[in-house]
Amino acid sequence: MTDKKGRIGILTGGGDIPGLNQAIRGVTLRALSEGFEVVGIRRGWAGLINLVRDAGADNSEWILPLDKGIVERYAYSGGTFLHSSRTRPSTVPLKDVPAHLKDKYTAEKNDLTDEVIANLEFLGIDYLVPAGGDDTLSYAVELGRRGFPVVAIPKTMDNDVPGTDYCMGFGTCVNRTIAMARQVTSSATSHERIVVLEVFGRYAGFTALLPTFAGAADRCVIPEAEFDMEKLAELLVADRNGRPEGYSVCIVSEGAMPSGGEMVFMAGEKDMFGHAKLGGIGQNVSNKIKELAPKYNGGKKIDMISMNLSYLVRSGAPDAIDCIVPTAYGNLAVDLILKGETGRMVALANGRYGSVPIDEVVSTKKVVDVARCYDAERFRPKYDGLAGLPLMVLGGSA
């Protein structure tokens, strides 16, 4: 390929979400119209450590030139056609060091950032557009500090990337959670059961709070506030018995913790960002509520429905918001490149598109403002004081 204005690289890292393919399309079509060439880097940051810098090497596993036909083909499908990984080039375990680099990197943890920069130069990439959550983008911050021109796009179902009111994938997640919570009530009604739904949210509870705010659940428990299991059981039984249909629903963030307890992890090793895989708190809550329910139900037991929605809300096509916002974010990224404003992340703030310094990703945390937006005694959103809050976020704060 012969450069025109330059060459833009795009990668997607971390968990997949609906809307990534729209963002890739947005960047690519705009960049091509402005005279750039566009290269997709496959499997996130893994693509930039596995590349072999040899003109005769077959790097098609890691690199995909992008054109209108490719990006249009996948635009309305879920996930990312560039694939993804949870790779952090600055902390690569020895077992994950590519074969052609094993003689050079022999520590238990290895910083391959020099290889990433050399590979970007080998590919002739002038600007990099990574789409990811705070983990993926925290490495983009490192790369930017090393002097490589980066413009980031925020993506995560948890909506917890600092610096923006909205992250791609969040709208579809909330829509699906509401739909599935409403759908399961027909079974819950038939058998007069209590429903416990586990959703994503390691440190931030937006994915549990927003559906509950919209009426999809009676109660929710979130990572920002420990909860008393006994009190939760009492409230859910009262909710069930107070409804003519005889059911109640609780949404549980995967990172929620009962008083004096801790996060529930699946068995397995940690990823390169130091995170063990969460999962199981929903079932734990369901089991305990079933045990405690007779105490508040005249001695009669109540059967439960427990579901982990996880990949059901992550998979599939994006909703309208996750078609519109990613397209806008992709075009905004190219706008910044055209103006020479790199080291930034595209963002939505106060209902307006814009950008912030990418360093904001690592300078603060975005979590639910419990004092303003969550009733920690009643395990539900607050419905007063909404003026001034963002459309899709109930009070994110540092």
Q: Strand, coil or helix: what is 365?
A: coil
Find tokens 């009676």 and name the residue.
218
Sheet of 36-41: strand order equals 63-65, 36-41, 6-12, 127-132, 151-154, 344-349, 352-357
Find tokens 């056609």 and name the residue.
81
Closest CA to 343 of 149, 113, 63, 91: 149
List, in order, residues 6 or more apart from 33 with CB less than 8 Å away: none
- Residue 271 annotated to the active site: no
Please list the residues that pair with 258 across neighbouring strands: 227
Closest CA to 166 of 389, 316, 337: 389
Closest CA to 273 of 158, 137, 147: 137
| Structural contact between residues 276 and 270, judged by C-beta atoms closer than 8 angstroms | yes
List, in order, residues 6 or more apart from 192 with CB less than 8 Å away: 240, 246, 247, 302, 303
Catalytic residue among 16, 126, 135, 158: 158
Catalytic annotation, residues: 158
